[in-house]
C-alpha cells in the first residue's frame, strides 16, 4: 500500500449529515462528504493485510463475506491515496458498473469483512467509493463506452431494476443488441421508485440510464411484457430473454381490518411518494399523512424508508412494530468476523424519529393483532407482545394494547416474484416461488432461451447482489448465444 503504516497513524472518520430539522424539510440527499484531503487520509488506512476479505465475494452458510462484486478494494484505496482518481475509477469499473448506486444504498458488506475491522473501526470503503464516482461525474468523465464488436444477437431484458440494468450493460458491452422493457414510466425499478430520493438522488439513476442509451441500449418504458407487449412477440423478436422482474409480491397483514382505508403496503407507499416528489402532482391513493399518527409494521431498510418518508410528509407520530427480537449490541459467538455483523443498527429514519419525537420508534417482539376503524377508515391498531420459542412466535397473554393510528404501512417483506410471466412462459419455480434454473449458477430456466436474475431468482436481497446476479446472467446468456 502507499502508506503501509496508515492504519496505525489515522483513526476512522466519517461523513457528517445535515441537521434533522433541516433535512426533513425536503427530499434531497443529506450526507455532507468529507473533504478530498480527508478521504485521501482515510484511504491510507487500508492495510497491506495479505488476504483482503473485503473483496472475498462468497457466502458461508448463508452469510456474506466481502463485496459480492469482488471489487478490487485495496487497489482502489491505494490509487485514491496516491491521488489517481481516474485510475481508481477505471479499476472500480472492471467489476462494478454502477458505483453511484451502491455507494449510497449498500450496507457495505465490504466494511463488515475489512481485516482492520476485526479489531479497529473498518476502512471507510463505501464513502471512498462515493467520493471516486461523484468526482468522476463532476469532472464529466463518464463517457459512453461503445461496444467494439457485434454478435448480431438480440436480447430482451425484462425489468430495469439493478439486476436488469447490470445485465443489459454487460450484454451490450459484449456486442449484443439489447432492449430493456420496463412497465413503469421511468427506468430504474426499485432504484427509481422503491428507494426514497433523499437516500438515492433520482438524477443519478436518470443519468446512468441516459448513458446506457447513448451506448446503444434501447429502453421501452410503460411496456409490461405479458400485457402491453405479448410474451409470444418477445420470444419471436429476440434470440434470448432475461427476466429481471424482481420479487415484488408483498407480504400483507392477515388480520381483521386489513382492508380499511389507510392501510398500504410499503412498496406502493414509497412508489407513490417518489412519483409525487418527481412530478409535483397528487397521486391517487397516496394517503395524506400530514398531522396523522403512523404505524410502520416491519423493520429492515424498507421499514426505515417508510419512517423517514412519513416524517417528511408531516406525520404527527411514527411507531415501528417489529415481530423479531431486538438484535444484540455486539457480535454473538455464532457470528464471528469476517461474517456480516448481525447487530443492532440505528439508521437515518430512526435517528430522525428519535430527535423529533424523543424516543426510538422501534418496538420489538410486537405484532399487529387487529386494525380498528370507523366509516371504512383506520382509527387504531391492536398490538400484542410475542415470545420467541423453538416453534416460533407465541403471543404473550395480557400484553394486548390498543393505540390510536390513522395510517398503517406494511413493510413485512416479499413473498416472491409476480406470477404473470412465470405462468405465461410455463417456468419452473422452487418451493419459495422463485424462478428455478436448470443448474446452479446457470441462470437458465427450463425454457431454453429464457434466463433469470436478481430477486426473481435468488429472492429478496440487496442491490449489490442484484447487480452481481445481472452481470453473471448476462455472461451466461451471451455464452449460450455464442454457441448457437
Splitting the chain (484 residues) into consecutive groups of 10 residues, what average pLDDT does each group show?
A: 89 97 97 97 94 90 89 96 97 97 97 95 98 98 96 98 98 98 97 97 98 98 95 96 96 95 95 93 83 96 97 97 95 90 95 97 97 97 96 95 97 94 96 92 93 95 96 97 92
Whole-number Å distance between alpha carbons of 417 and 436: 12
Whole-number Å distance between alpha carbons of 455 and 463: 9
- Do 45 and 121 sit in the same domain of this protein? yes
Tell me the DSSP string of 51-74.
Answer: S-GGG--EEETTEEES-TT---HH
Residue 1 lies in a domain: no
Q: Tell me, what's the pLDDT at 251?
A: 92
**Pairing relation of β-strands 377-389 and 366-374?**
antiparallel
Whole-number Å distance between alpha carbons of 436 and 71: 28
**CA atoms in the 13 A half-sphere facing the CB of 161:** 29
- Do 116 and 12 sit in the same domain of this protein? yes
| Boundaries of domain holding 424 | 154-248+415-483
- First-to-last alpha carbon distance for the chain, in angstroms, is 46
- Do 184 and 270 sit in the same domain of this protein? no
Whole-number Å distance between alpha carbons of 315 and 220: 37
Domain boundary at 395, 412, 429, which?
A: 412
The domain that contains 66 carries what CATH number? 1.10.1060.10
Residue 95 Ramachandran class (φ > 0 left, ψ -120 to 50 alpha, else beta): alpha
C-alpha cell at 57: 465475494
Is residue 443 within 8 A of residue 457, CB to CB? The reply is: yes
C-alpha cell at 466: 442484484
- Do 161 and 81 sit in the same domain of this protein? no
- Do 49 and 93 sit in the same domain of this protein? yes
- Do 127 and 93 sit in the same domain of this protein? yes
Residue 292 lies in a domain: yes
**Pairing relation of β-strands 317-321 and 362-363?**
parallel
- Do 383 and 454 sit in the same domain of this protein? no
Residue 147 lies in a domain: no
- Do 374 and 426 sit in the same domain of this protein? no
Q: How many CB atoms within 10 Å of residue 356?
A: 16
- Do 356 and 401 sit in the same domain of this protein? yes
Report pTM: 0.96
DSSP code for 311: H
Count of structural domains, the chain: 3
| Residue (of 192, 187, 26, 30) closest to 101 by Cα position | 192
- Do 74 and 12 sit in the same domain of this protein? yes
C-alpha cell at 171: 450484454
C-alpha cell at 108: 457495505
Amino acid at each position: 500500500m502507499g502508506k503501509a503504516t496508515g492504519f496505525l497513524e489515522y483513526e476512522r472518520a466519517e461523513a457528517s449529515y445535515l441537521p434533522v430539522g433541516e433535512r426533513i424539510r425536503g427530499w434531497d440527499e443529506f450526507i455532507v462528504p468529507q473533504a478530498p484531503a480527508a478521504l485521501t487520509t482515510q484511504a491510507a488506512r487500508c492495510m497491506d493485510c495479505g488476504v483482503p476479505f473485503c473483496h472475498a465475494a462468497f457466502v458461508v452458510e448463508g452469510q456474506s463475506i466481502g463485496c459480492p462484486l469482488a471489487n478490487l478494494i485495496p487497489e482502489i484505496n491505494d490509487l485514491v491515496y496516491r491521488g489517481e482518481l481516474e485510475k481508481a475509477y477505471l479499476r472500480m469499473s472492471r467489476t462494478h458498473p454502477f458505483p453511484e448506486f451502491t455507494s449510497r444504498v449498500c450496507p457495505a458488506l465490504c466494511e463488515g469483512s475489512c481485516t482492520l475491522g476485526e479489531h479497529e473501526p473498518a476502512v471507510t470503503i463505501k464513502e471512498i467509493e462515493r467520493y471516486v464516482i461523484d468526482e468522476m461525474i463532476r469532472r464529466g468523465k463518464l463517457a459512453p463506452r461503445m461496444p467494439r464488436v457485434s454478435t448480431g444477437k438480440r436480447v430482451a431484458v425484462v425489468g430495469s431494476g439493478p439486476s436488469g440494468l447490470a445485465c443489459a450493460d454487460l450484454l451490450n458491452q459484449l456486442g449484443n443488441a439489447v432492449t430493456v422493457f420496463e412497465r413503469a414510466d421511468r427506468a430504474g425499478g426499485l432504484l427509481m421508485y422503491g428507494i426514497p430520493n433523499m437516500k438515492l438522488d433520482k438524477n443519478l439513476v436518470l443519468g446512468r440510464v441516459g448513458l446506457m442509451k447513448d451506448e446503444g441500449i434501447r429502453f421501452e418504458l410503460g411496456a409490461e411484457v405479458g400485457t402491453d407487449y405479448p410474451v409470444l412477440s418477445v420470444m419471436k423478436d429476440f434470440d434470448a430473454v432475461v427476466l429481471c422482474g424482481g420479487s415484488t409480491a408483498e407480504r400483507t397483514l392477515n388480520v381483521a381490518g386489513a382492508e380499511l382505508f389507510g392501510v398500504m403496503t410499503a412498496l406502493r407507499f414509497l412508489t407513490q411518494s417518489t412519483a409525487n416528489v418527481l412530478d409535483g402532482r397528487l397521486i391517487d391513493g397516496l394517503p395524506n399523512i400530514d398531522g396523522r399518527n403512523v404505524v410502520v409494521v416491519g423493520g429492515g431498510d424498507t421499514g426505515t424508508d417508510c419512517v423517514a418518508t412519513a416524517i417528511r410528509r408531516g406525520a404527527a407520530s411514527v411507531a415501528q412494530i417489529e415481530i423479531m427480537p431486538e438484535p444484540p449490541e455486539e457480535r454473538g459467538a455464532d457470528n464471528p468476523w469476517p461474517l456480516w455483523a448481525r447487530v443492532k443498527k440505528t439508521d437515518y429514519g430512526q435517528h430522525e424519529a428519535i430527535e423529533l419525537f424523543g424516543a426510538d420508534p422501534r418496538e420489538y417482539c410486537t405484532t399487529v393483532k387487529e386494525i380498528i376503524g370507523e366509516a371504512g377508515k383506520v382509527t387504531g391498531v391492536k398490538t400484542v407482545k410475542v415470545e420467541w420459542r423453538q416453534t416460533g412466535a407465541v403471543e404473550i397473554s395480557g400484553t394486548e394494547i390498543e393505540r390510536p393510528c390513522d395510517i398503517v404501512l406494511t413493510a413485512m417483506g416479499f413473498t416472491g416474484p409476480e406470477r404473470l410471466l412465470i405462468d405465461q412462459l410455463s417456468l419452473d419455480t422452487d418451493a419459495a416461488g422463485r424462478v428455478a434454473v436448470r443448474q446452479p449458477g446457470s441462470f437458465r430456466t427450463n425454457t431454453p432461451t429464457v434466463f433469470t436474475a436478481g430477486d426473481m431468482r435468488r429472492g429478496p436481497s440487496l442491490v449489490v447482489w442484484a447487480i452481481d446476479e445481472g452481470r453473471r446472467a448476462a455472461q451466461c446468456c451471451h455464452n449460450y448465444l455464442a454457441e448457437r
